[in-house]
Structure 1
């Protein structure tokens, strides 16, 4: 059980450390990063309850609705809402990369607790490996896209448009990931290839956010 617990928690912490260290300006206060991580974890139970209610009521059960609405939109909206009201509106959120960092922290808090609960039930190291590669890293990558938009929103005259794009873009890429898994539940290769593409996009957005910081705060 200890091995399963470590397998559940380690990927999220490793990914959070990576994105924390990619910030090229001054290090963000760890207290705020941890707050975002915990805030994401808190979302797991209400979201699981809502999703359970959808299943019991037979609502949004088709592959498209399940992937893009019952899962992606629900989870990404609540994460966006939590990020906006716990960190975005505060002065500590002051540069382009902050959106990525705090969105990743919140999303990985959600993914880590969700992963722990899942592995607690299934108790399999093989499943733990696949969940680290797919759902956990996926949540981090969805968050990079959302966070990039949030960072742009903070410094743009079109703030509302960027805030909308933060939810919309994360929902679309998250929903596509889940749609792939629903259509090909026994085939991991399509989902892995999609994650590779998302990693490429995420690294480009990380570079773009840091470049915007260098231009803005040099």
Structure 2
């Protein structure tokens, strides 16, 4: 049962990881560094948990009797802590690497970090759950895709910032963290409120679905910003031109051979 639950929890992690890897179609990242990002994301859950525990003890924290305390917990304690931890790792380990060659790389590394975080978080929940199968199933369709979405928002702006050489770079970095915290906090707020009397039932799932659509649009937009798009088009045009030139050459050789055969036949007749 536990093995099936772990497999169920990891399946969306692997699927989303493969998806973002394939979407990075112009200049794919070294697999070794993607694994490093995943492991770093998984390990980052420990400082995030300790920081959340610390702030929970000195604030009203997880008392969901009113929306104010709920907002503090969702946005400041959980979302801000987790996204800042992931941002620091992304900024320190990957942002300045020589293989960070296009805006799409920001999304790729942010997603791999978040998927590692989500995998470790799912495993942690399975250890304390009374029904591991249900917990794994629920997290497969909620928490894992949610962390994917948060990462896309952060990674998109981090990728833009990496290749922006002006005063706007700092703003774009801030925007990446802000958007990730905003989306993460809003999702958690609706999710926690749904368990309250007269709460926002199912609103968190609707918000997640809408956020997924936006994240896919950001991925496509980051793809178009790749400097390798023109190179690939140039290569394609060159290959087509070479193929056409080769076809013309073969046609010319065929025509020349035909003329020679005709000339030999005429000589034999003479």
DSSP 3-state at the match of 1:129: helix
What are the residue-to-residue correspondences of 1:122-201 with 2, within 5 Å?
Answer: 122=129, 123-156=131-164, 157=166, 158-185=168-195, 189-201=202-214
TM-score of the two chains, using structure 2 as the length reference:
0.77
TM-score of the two chains, using structure 1 as the length reference:
0.94
Q: Which runs of 5+ in 2 are unaligned?
A: 63-68, 232-270
Q: Which moved more, 1:168-177 or 1:41-50?
A: 41-50
Q: Quick one: higher RCO (CA 8 Å, sep 6+), 1 or 2? A: 1
Measured against aligned partners, the alpha-carbon deviations of 1:33-70 in whole angstroms (never above 9, x if no partner) come to 11111111111111112212233344544101100000
CA distance in 1, matches of 2:10, 2:201: 22
CA distance in 1, matches of 2:201, 2:18: 26
In structure 2, the residue matched to 1:15 is 16
Q: CA deviation at 1:185?
A: 2.2
Q: Which moved more, 1:108-117 or 1:185-194?
A: 185-194
Measured against aligned partners, the alpha-carbon deviations of 1:141-169 in whole angstroms (never above 9, x if no partner) come to 11001000011001112211111111111
Number of residues of Structure 1 aligned to a counterpart in Structure 2: 218
Residues 27, 216 of structure 1: CA spacing in aligned structure 2 closer, same or farther, 3 A cutoff?
closer
Whether 1:111 aligns to 2:121 is no
The question of whether the paired residues in 2 share the 8 Å contact of 1:60 and 1:69 is answered with no
The question of whether the paired residues in 1 share the 8 Å contact of 2:79 and 2:181 is answered with yes
Measured against aligned partners, the alpha-carbon deviations of 1:83-107 in whole angstroms (never above 9, x if no partner) come to 0101001111110100000000001
What's the RMSD between the two structures over aligned residues? 1.7
DSSP 3-state at the match of 1:176: helix
In structure 2, the residue matched to 1:56 is 57
Following TM superposition, the consecutive aligned residue runs of length 4 or more in structure 1 with deviations greater than 4 angstroms are: 214-217
